[in-house]
Structure 1
Amino acid sequence: MALFRSSTLLPQCTSCVRRFTRQNLDAWGSQQTRTISKKAKEAERNIVVKLLKDVPRFGRAGSYVPLNPSLMRNRWFPARVADYVPATQLKQMKAQEVDMARDFSYGVRLNLEEAEEDEEDLLRRPKHYIRPIEIDLLSPERSMELLNTFVPPTIDFYRQRIEQDKEPKERYGASGAADILTAAAMGSKAKAHTDAIYGSVSTADLVATIKGALAHNDEAARVMLNEADVRFVSGHEEGDASRVKQLGTFKVEIRLPSAEEPIIRNIRIRAKESEV
């Protein structure tokens, strides 16, 4: 009777047997399985070696650290960076609970501390005092005295004279109309001054010459003279007292800022051919 009851609980047809088996397989496959992580696998593959040199992020010489076998075989052992640890010695070390962990902070912390010490040394180091350049300026009165002493009464310049057009020769046989046209053309040209020169003598030329004369004395060389401190009193064109464009002797005025009275000097402009 009991056998009959148990047999009635089992599936009778093939499709029922197949469905019953699949349910049992699904229930068994739904169970969770534990997998080993990549780091754990690498830790299992590592071997313990003895460092022969100080290695940053690993440890000091004489320390025991785990290392990848391929790295030890290809690089560290040929370079005598580390040595293998015999199995018997490794067993004794494990029994004595010797530290065989890698020191990731070794070498890095020391560098940071050294850098901090260098910065502190720079802050503590005394700074050298750089004295600013001091220029002892002369008073306007003293500068005018030096100008009056070292600038000669007459300063000579040499320029080339502009050659004047010669009078046209009388042409015989020319018609009256041609003479009228020629006279009109000549009259349209502005007749230049008989002593006109090429270029000019400007206040810049005069200042350069005066500075050359002052350079022979240490105190006079400190006189500050600009173009604005010099102007022509005579010989210049109307509205422009900074240059002269003709031969002759002219007067120039030199006055420094804050000076009470100016210095008057003669400027003599000669033709170049008169130098010989």
Structure 2
Amino acid sequence: MASPLVSKYPQCLSYIRRMTGSLRDVFQVPSHQQTRGKKRLVKVSTVKVHLLQNVPGYGRRGAVIPVTTGMMRNIWYPKKMAEYVTNDKLQQLGVKKDTTIERDSTFRSNTERKLDKEKEKYERTVAAAESAVASIEPESSIPIELGLLSPERSMTILENLVPPNLDFYRVPVTPSEAPQKRVSPSVRFNSVISAAAAEVKEAQKPEVTGIYGSVTTTDIAANLKAILAEDEDGVRVVLSPEDITFVEETSRKNGVKRLGIFDIEIRLDDAPDAIRRTIRVNAQD
């Protein structure tokens, strides 16, 4: 059985917090809340030094300037660029102890000053040249007319420049040796009559040799453009693969895939007539 004294104490935590808060306000007990103040700037420690040589951005040789202790300890003193200054040294140099010393940030070396002078001289030269160019009156330019040729003029140029025959070379496809076919079931396969009949039948068929790749109107147009490029007026002719067609019906649209001789027609847009040329697809060795 629980003691009757235990039940008199509060059992709720929120109630305990409210009671302790009210007691803290009555007795003015400071809370444990942390308050932040202003950030304090870190004070950089400096030391007065006596320059033993000219240091651009700091001062001339013999000047007394303040510099950070780290720079003096790690750079200037090991390289004998400056030396530490004591109170006795300040008196020898005629510098009072309480005198405010600052570095000469405008000091620059002779090399830097020479470069600045050369830069200013170059800028003056450029400005003078620009003003001289601006003062010159531009001459009246002669307009150059590069109009397109008429279809009739272009066809005349093609008629004069394009040769009658155009040669193309492709690698032929080697036909595989097919077995002889029997002429009649009653005749032996290797008989003389069967061979003679086969030769007659093969002689009646036209020989067609295929090629690797093809010769298309694009190839022909590229060949014609190379020919026209060698002439002053031919360069101005506008020719495309659509202006070239095969006279005969070919196995491939706008191209051939076998050795032989083929006729083509060249007709530009809005041209009244076409010119006919011959292309020869030869076997490449």
Q: Scaled by the length of structure 2, what TM-score is found?
A: 0.49
Against the structure 1 CA distance between its residues 208 and 66, is the aligned structure 2 distance closer, same or farther, given a 3 Å change threshold? closer
How far the C-alpha of 1:246 sits from its partner, in A, is 5.5
CA contact (8 A) 2:51 2:60 kept: no
**Aligned mates of 1:105, 1:255 — CA distance in 2:** 80
Take 1:148 and 1:55, find their aligned partners in 2: how far apart are those partners?
80
Structure 1 unaligned spans of 5+: 1-36, 129-133, 175-192
Give the equivalent residue in structure 2 for 1:266: 278
CA distance in 2, matches of 1:47, 1:241: 94
CA distance in 2, matches of 1:154, 1:47: 97
RMSD after superposition: 4.8
Q: Which has the larger radius of gyration?
A: 1
- Residue 156 to residue 195, structure 1, CA distance change in 2 (3 Å): farther
Once residues 277 and 90 of structure 2 are traced to their aligned partners in structure 1, the CA distance between those partners, rounded to angstroms, is: 107
Alignment CA distance shift 1:102-1:212 (3 Å): closer
Give the structure 2 partner of residue 214 of structure 1: 228
Q: Counterpart of 1:151?
A: 162
Q: Letter of the 1:139 partner, please give it.
A: L
In 2, Cα distance between equivalents of 1:249 and 1:203: 15
> Compared with structure 1, are the counterparts of its residues 62 and 144 closer, same or farther at alpha carbon in structure 2 (3 Å cutoff)?
farther
Cα deviation, residue 148, structure 1 = 0.8
Structure 2: runs of 5 or more not aligned: 1-40, 134-143, 188-204
Contact residue 210 and residue 259 of structure 2 kept, 8 A: no
* Distance apart, 1:204 and its partner CA: 2.3
Match of 1:59 in 2: 59
Q: Which residue is equivalent to 2:245?
A: 231
Structure-2 change in CA distance of 1:51 and 1:258 (3 Å): farther
Q: How many residues align?
A: 198
> Which residue in the other structure is 2:43 paired with?
39
Counterpart CA distance in 2 for 1:169 and 1:196 is 23
- Return the alpha-carbon distance in structure 2 between the equivalents of residues 158 and 68 of structure 1: 84
1:9 aligned residue = none
Q: Confirm or deny that 1:168 pairs with 2:181.
A: yes
The letter for the 2-side match of 1:251 is D
Q: Which amino acid aligns with 1:204?
A: T
Structure 1 residue 269 displacement after superposition: 4.9
1:221, distance to aligned residue in structure 2 (A): 4.4
State the secondary structure of the residue aligned to 1:47. Answer: strand
| C-alpha separation in 2, matches of 1:157 and 1:215 | 19
Separation (CA, whole Å) in 2 of partners of 1:219 and 1:98: 89
Identity %: 30
Q: In structure 2, the residue corresponding to 1:196 is in which secondary structure?
A: coil
TM-score (norm 1): 0.50
Q: Which residue of the partner structure matches residue 190 of structure 2?
A: none
Going by fraction, where is helix more abundant, 1 or 2?
Answer: 1
Paired residues of 1:162 and 1:196 also in contact (CA < 8 A): no
Shift of 1:224: 3.5
